[in-house]
Chain A
Amino acid sequence: MVTVLIAILFPFVCAALIPLLYRRLRRVSHLGWFVLAVPFILFLLLARYIPQIAEGKTFIHTYEWIPSFNINFTTYLDGLSMIFGLLITGVGSLVILYSIFYLSTKESLHHFYCYLLLFMGAMLGVVFSDNLMVLYTFWELTSVSSFLLIAFWHHRKASRAGARKAMTITVFGGLSMLAGFLMLFVASGSFSIREIIANVEVIRDHTLFTPALILILIGAFTKSAQFPFHIWLPDAMEAPTPVSAYLHSATMVKAGIYLVARFSPVFGGEAIWFWLVSVIGLATLFWGSFNAVRQTDLKALLAFSTISQLGLIMSLFGLGSVGHYYGYAENTILYTQASFAALFHLVNHSTFKGALFMMVGIVDHEVGTRDIRRLGGLMALMPVTFTIAVIGGFSMAGLPPFNGFLSKEMFFAAMLAIRNVEAFSITEVGLLFPIIAWVASIFTFVYSLILISRTFFGKLQPDKIDKKPHEAPIGMLISPIILSILVVGIFFFPNVLGHYILEPAMASIYPTFPSTSELTPHIHAWHGINAELLMTLGVIIIGAILFKTLKSWKPLYRIFSQKYTFNTYYNRLIEMSENGSAKLTNRYMTGNLTHYFIYIYVFFVALIAGYFIWSDAIVFDFAKDSTFESYELILVFVMVFAAIWMIFAKGRVTAMLLNGVLGYSIAFFFVIFRAPDLALTQLVVESVTTALFLLCFKYLPDLMPESAHKRIQWSNATISILVGATVTLIGLAVVHFDRFEPVSTYFNDAYELAGGSNIVNTILGDFRAFDTMLEVVVLLIAGLGVYTLTKLKPRKEKTDHEN
């Protein structure tokens, strides 16, 4: 299954190529045309596997990464990752096609597409990884790349703030998820999700099971903008619209949902999982739809609507976990349907919300504003855009003949079914589920109407808009039209989607259930006159009344004081941490080099000497020591002499020369002890540092005699002596330490294993090459740090960036 590896790596490779090629490509055509090929090829590659996946096959391949730590690059293609893979590449293709017409060539397109491809690769990595550590790496990479995408117009302050907010919240969640993963590893002994699922019976009783559950859920909730972490999503709307359409409707925010779906075989059936996922989901659903109504910016409205829809999907997965509790039985189908509805709505949401975001982008692009107070009457001027808006909006509202209707009916059915569950102490509370769902759906209906009518009906207000509105160029319309066709197409042929895409994914969510076809209900557009349909009728009637009387009840929102929103708390938290850290930093960053050395050395002594004493590692057995020669003694005296003289040296040059004497003497020691590699390195490093010193020598002031207080002098002397004593202690103790097997025997095989007879080098290049590789990276970062600090000082004219 090399295909999946290619699918993950291909975007990264292309992202790396863009900076090298974009100058040449830019002359040929819009950069987007070349980038478009990436997701399109990947989509076709993945689509080839649909029939095999539908037959119940899964593909797995392990590339060994760090096998000694149980971390392997394992790619896993099953029904669930297939859905997400198709969404990422499919919607990705459409978004890139759309962006070609949306973004002018004057923008820094090479940055944009580079970030977008990074993001795409990271998302594919998240959904195809079976190893938790690999999944986590890609997960954080999506946070980083989305940060770059949201801040694409980084000259705007709001963009930067939005990007930072998204990053802060999602990375916080990611870190807590990492802790959860590590706990799972401790409980199960494996980083592989499949193995964890297979051993779920064993780990369920582990003490870390519940903490892991909660921590992983926090990760999923932050990423999927669940209540109360939803506040980053509206701010992330500062990104260019193609990004919003991609990240905030189809992909990134669904990573959390993917995580919940993926882990429901592990945690599903736990009461705490059921309550957290379904209640948080419902709260998000309600709060999102309730707040969407009062938005005046079209993108903000869609942002809250996305939050609410994500809550809907999340709550359905919560209800679906009841199926895990009961295990496979006749009546379980009633509850597993909730998971099916969640998957179904996931796909539907991607289609209609993608189309709606693109529609809003078109309006913004052609009219110049997204404010519904300034819009209106665009129906006749932009008929195609209007049609897209109606299809997308009515699907979102849950009306036939659009796909949103089907999944929303199933959503109602699942909510009604949950009342009868005799577990998790659902009693009267169960009645609240369908009620909240129903009320939230009414608000969904209302804001869908607002979205359509305020933009397209009513009177055109030419004096309030910046541009003369006209229909968008055809290229910009293609992507939303394709999505709209899908919206309608799925309504008429839902079972094609159900059989080929959703059914295999159900098998991934319920791996222990025998037959997949029984899990998959046959989707009917007309399911008789039942409670769900009546609920829908109620939504339409009450929603229409509320929409008509919007003016009279909208002031209700003013009751919610802006003082106590989660945003305010977030801002206060950020402000507090900024002030706190500034205070702390000012306290210890005194600019005095002596102070910094004091911190470093005190820490060093406390940690190293403390550990040696604490662990009884100080063992002296002088019998094992070899004898020393007289010339070694002389060398020691030279070093001691140089060191003591250095303390009392009057000039910098003297001190530097004495330091050189010390360094070269150490090199001599290496020569004596037959460590030519170390001797060479020591000599060259000593020479280079001396050259460095010579370069900055003339800028330094003369060495002044310290006029410090006696007490400070004494404390400094104490610290120095302690450091010296610690180092001596280490030197002596290491020789006599025999707690562990010496590793030197392992390196005897260096020639056979690595083909090199220089042990030092085989260690650096083979046995511990990971250290060397990361050291090189650190070196580069340090070098770039020095370069940027000294070279790239802020220029005066750039200060007006803070608009």
Chain B
Amino acid sequence: MKINDVILRTVTKAVVFIILTLGVYLFFAGHHAPGGGFIGGLVLASGIVLLYLAYDIETVHKGMPFDFKKMAALGVLLATGTAIGSLFFDVPFLTQAHTYIDVPIFGEMGFSTVTIFEAGVALTVVGVVVTIILSISEDE
């Protein structure tokens, strides 16, 4: 059965970029404003899920040839990695460091190892959500 989904596809084309941009924005904004790794990851995942809903799996895979299971595993590795990494600097497990660096053009910016941790969280969320939705939808 061929489903007529012109509207969905047209809307998706326009909306997905907004959603993905929002996801990335939320991820970076997290430290000072609403957002963060978890919510950023969720927004990204929902954008990807929307793509899968509008197009078939093969088409999306051509555009995003990721293995989402590996992405989730990488996320966990990053999150636990920053936790263990702090041991090498002789500080308690999971200690995060932050500093301010003067970057040209942008001016003074805060940098924190929390960002790496949050990136791990975001990757895990995206990977797991997409994996679960794909497995359920492909299941016969």
Contact = CB atoms under 8 A, between A and B. Distances in A.
Interface of A: 5, 63-67, 73, 676-677, 680-681, 684-685, 687-688, 691-692, 694-696, 754-758, 760-762, 764-766, 769-770, 772-773, 776-777, 779-780, 782-784, 786-787, 790-791
Contacts of B139: 790-791
Interface in B58-101: 69, 72-73, 75-76, 79-80, 83, 87, 90-94, 96, 98-99
Given A73-B93, A684-B42, A755-B112, 4 more contacts: A691-B53, A755-B110, A780-B75, A786-B135
B87 A765 contact: no
Residue in B38, B43, B139 with the greatest tally of chain A CB atoms within 10 Å = B38
Interface of B: 26, 30-39, 42-43, 45-46, 49-50, 53, 69, 72-73, 75-76, 79-80, 83, 87, 90-94, 96, 98-99, 110, 112, 114, 117-118, 120-121, 124-125, 127-129, 131-133, 135-139
A568 B98 CA distance: 61
A783 B126 CA distance: 11
B31 A695 contact: no
A283 to B, nearest CB: 43
B43 to A, nearest CB: 6
B78 to A, nearest CB: 9
Nearest to B130: A783
A761 to B, nearest CB: 4
Given A769-B83, A776-B79, A783-B131, A755 B49 contact: no
Contacts of A687: 46
B35 to A, nearest CB: 7
Contact of A779 (B33, B69, B124, B135): B124
B129 A769 contact: no
Contacts of B120: 776
A675 B120 CA distance: 24
A677 B36 contact: yes
20 contacts: A66-B93, A677-B34, A677-B35, A680-B34, A695-B133, A754-B96, A754-B98, A754-B112, A758-B34, A761-B30, A761-B35, A761-B36, A762-B31, A764-B121, A765-B114, A770-B94, A777-B79, A779-B125, A784-B72, A791-B139
A787 B135 contact: yes
Nearest to B69: A787
A67 B94 CA distance: 11
Contacts of A696: 136
Contacts of A63: 87, 90
Given A684-B46, A696-B136, A756-B112, A772 B121 contact: yes
Contacts of A66: 92-93
A64 B91 contact: yes
B75 A769 contact: no
B133 A691 contact: yes
A764 B94 CA distance: 12
B118 A780 contact: no
B96 A766 contact: yes
A761 B26 CA distance: 12
A758 B124 contact: no
B123 to A, nearest CB: 9
Contact of A764 (B33, B34, B38, B91): B38
Contacts of A773: 79-80, 83, 94, 117
Contacts of B32: 756-758
Contacts of A684: 39, 42-43, 46
A756 B20 CA distance: 24
Given A681-B39, A780-B128, A786-B131, A756 B92 contact: no
Contacts of A765: 31, 36-37, 96, 114, 117-118
A16 to B, nearest CB: 9
Q: Which secondary structure dominates chain A's binding surface?
A: helix
B41 to A, nearest CB: 10
Contact of B133 (A692, A760, A761, A780): A692
B31 A761 contact: yes
Contacts of A695: 133, 136-137
Contact of A769 (B31, B72, B94): B94
Contact of B129 (A688, A756, A772): A688
Nearest to A782: B128
Contact of B87 (A73, A782, A790, A791): A73
A762 to B, nearest CB: 8
A578 to B, nearest CB: 30
Nearest to B80: A773
B53 A681 contact: no
Contacts of A757: 31-33
A783 B31 contact: no
Pick the 10 closest A-B CB pairs, nearest first.
A783-B128, A755-B98, A676-B34, A64-B92, A756-B31, A765-B114, A790-B135, A684-B42, A790-B139, A65-B93
B31 A758 contact: yes
Contact of B46 (A677, A691, A787): A691
Contacts of A680: 26, 34-35, 39, 43
A786 B94 contact: no
A688 B35 contact: no
Contact of B124 (A756, A760, A780, A786): A780
Contact of B114 (A73, A754, A780, A787): A754
Contact of B73 (A73, A688, A780, A790): A780
A537 B46 CA distance: 81
B128 to A, nearest CB: 3
Residue in B93, B110, B133 with the greatest tally of chain A CB atoms within 10 Å = B93
Given A765-B118, A790-B135, A779 B128 contact: yes
A152 B38 CA distance: 38
Contact of A688 (B46, B75, B92, B131): B46
Contacts of A758: 30-36
Nearest to A769: B94
Given A756-B114, A765-B114, A777 B30 contact: no
Nearest to A764: B36
A692 B114 CA distance: 31
Contact of A784 (B43, B49, B69, B117): B69
Contacts of B110: 755
Given A688-B129, A780-B73, A769 B96 contact: yes
Contact of B132 (A65, A764, A783): A783
Nearest to B83: A773
Contacts of A780: 72-73, 75-76, 124, 127-128
Residue in A760, A765, A770, A779 with the greatest tally of chain B CB atoms within 10 Å = A765
A776 B121 contact: yes
A257 B34 CA distance: 55
A790 B131 CA distance: 11
B16 to A, nearest CB: 14
A776 B35 CA distance: 17
A764 B110 CA distance: 18
A762 B36 CA distance: 10
